[in-house]
Structure 1
Amino acid sequence: MTLISPSKPVQDPDLQAIRAALRAVIRPTDPDYPKLKTEIDSDEMLTRYLADKWLVKGKDVIRYHADSDSEDAASVGDSCDEFETMEEYEEMHKWREAMKNRRPITLGDEEYTARWVECQNCGVEFDVSCNEHEKDYNYEWPCSWHPGWKEIDQSAPHGEDWEVRGGYYENNSDTPEGFIWNCCSSYGDEGGCKHTKHKAPVNRILNRNVATTAKGMRFGGSKKRKVESITQ
């Protein structure tokens, strides 16, 4: 009698990639991490549900053109003068963004990464697949930040107890009139002078001399969300 060994179940490569990406996104220090990790490995329905909430493919990541003027709202506004109508400008803008989103980033089109990451410029957590200016004519970009740093305003009056030790005044909101941003001369508590998309390691367009994918940076720079904030 010949014994036939049972065949192993066929593993879905995409499902395996999703599970690996989810494990990288979840905080190991979270008290629910062991339980959730086990459920991700065994419950396909839950896995795909969490993937919709927490993950996005590389092809859907809105690109950021590493601190160039092409990301600055001011330069976008100036370019409107080149067109006779706003409709013509909007069409050109859509075309430029479509071409930009074909540029390489640190992961491939079908690779998964965290949907929510922290902006390196303003510190806000954002969705890497929704990172463009509002669809109106006010050019309200999602990120407002200062490319410079705070300095003492020498023209402002300072008391005798004024302290300047290291980074003491870097984030001092009590006396904003005593400091200015060296990039725009605004007071220390004024909003950013540069308006762009949000920036993170995962959405930066690579230099032409850099390889299309960087295997070791698939999840670099991601801010991992707490489990309870997603599953509510």
Structure 2
Amino acid sequence: MAETKRASELLGAIQAATPDRLREVLTALCLEQRATFTATYQKLLVDESQQLDVGDSEDDASASEAELPPKRRFPMPEGPAPQLGNKRKRYEVCKQCDKEYDSLVNTKTSCIYHDGELEVDWEGDIWADHDERCHGTINTEAMRKEYPEGFLWSCCDRFGDKTGCRKGPHRPQEAKRRRY
């Protein structure tokens, strides 16, 4: 019973913690305990051979090594080390749809996105009574989020709140794939 209460308290604390705090705690645990390091390594990194081949985009090859952040060195905790090899992040954020995805289940149709820009629909009724002098500028990120139906995608002329018009594999936000 006490163990269930402790588990419930811990899960509540995890849910309430900020992402920065969670990263800090996980990093500290990985540096202190080999078992935690190994388990985390196996959950967050995968062999490149496990990843589905969905092709490379031109953007992936455009960044130079100088643009990548420097690798940080951490002291390894005691105990058996995980197997080394060409590794990459298992979970990444897609630069096309801004959603997190699992690289092990990234297919050629996993991502639904727009490849155009949101443009103001000046002829739409939503802006009929909008005076920019007193209501604020229309063509802003804040207005795109608050009134997506007042904008059109340049790629398909659909309203801003409509689902994507393109399908493809998710693409990582990093300019170049890094190996670990």
TM-score by length of 1: 0.47
Shift of 1:55: 1.2
Select the residue among 103, 117, 123 that pairs with 2:98: 123
Task: Render the CA deviation track for 1:113-159: whole Å, top value 9, x for unaligned.
Answer: 221111111111111121115xxxxxxx2211110111111221222
Aligned to 1:54: 44
Q: What do residues 25-63 of structure 1 show as CA deviations (whole Å, max 9, x unaligned)?
A: x999523422321213xx4xx444333321101222223
**1:67, CA displacement in angstroms?**
6.8
SS in 2 for 1:172: helix
Matched, 1:38 2:21: no
Partner of 1:142: 110
1:132 maps to: 107
The equivalent of 1:229 in structure 2 is: none
C-alpha distance in 2, partners of 1:189/1:28?
Answer: 32
Larger relative helix fraction: 2
Residue 158 (structure 2) pairs with residue 164 (structure 1): no
Provide the residue aligned with 1:218 in structure 2: 179
Structure 2: segments with no counterpart, 5+ residues: 1-19, 60-84
- Structure 2 letter corresponding to 1:191: T
Q: Secondary structure at the match of 1:52?
A: helix
Q: Match for 2:57 among 66, 85, 88?
A: 66
* Pair 119,27 (structure 1): closer, same or farther in 2 beyond 3 Å: farther
Query: Following the alignment from structure 2 to structure 1, what is the Cα–Cα distance between the partners of residues 159 and 111?
Result: 19
Q: Among residues 166, 170, 176, which one is paired with 1:198 in the alignment?
A: 170
Contact map agreement 2:120 2:139 (CA 8 A) in 1: no
User: Identity over aligned residues, as a percent?
Assistant: 22
**8 Å Cα contact 1:62/1:203 also seen in 2:** no
Tell me: CA distance 1:51–1:31, structure 2 relative to 1, closer, same or farther (3 Å).
Answer: closer
CA RMSD in angstroms, aligned pairs only? 3.3
Structure 1 Cα separation of the partners of residues 173 and 47 of structure 2: 15
Instruction: Please report how far the alpha carbon of residue 200 of structure 1 lies from its aligned counterpart in structure 2 after TM superposition.
Output: 1.2
Q: Displacement of 1:191 after TM fit?
A: 0.6
Give the match for residue 107 of structure 1: none
Amino acid corresponding to residue 58 of structure 1 in structure 2: E
- Distance in 1 (alpha carbons) for counterparts of 2:122 and 2:139: 17
Deviation at 1:185, TM superposition (A): 0.1
The alignment partner of 1:144 has SS state of strand
Give how far 1:171 is off: 2.9
SS, match of residue 167 in structure 2: strand
Secondary structure, in 3 states, of the residue corresponding to 2:145? coil
The answer (yes or no) to whether the contact 1:150–1:181 under 8 Å persists in 2 is yes
| 3-state DSSP of counterpart to 1:189 | coil
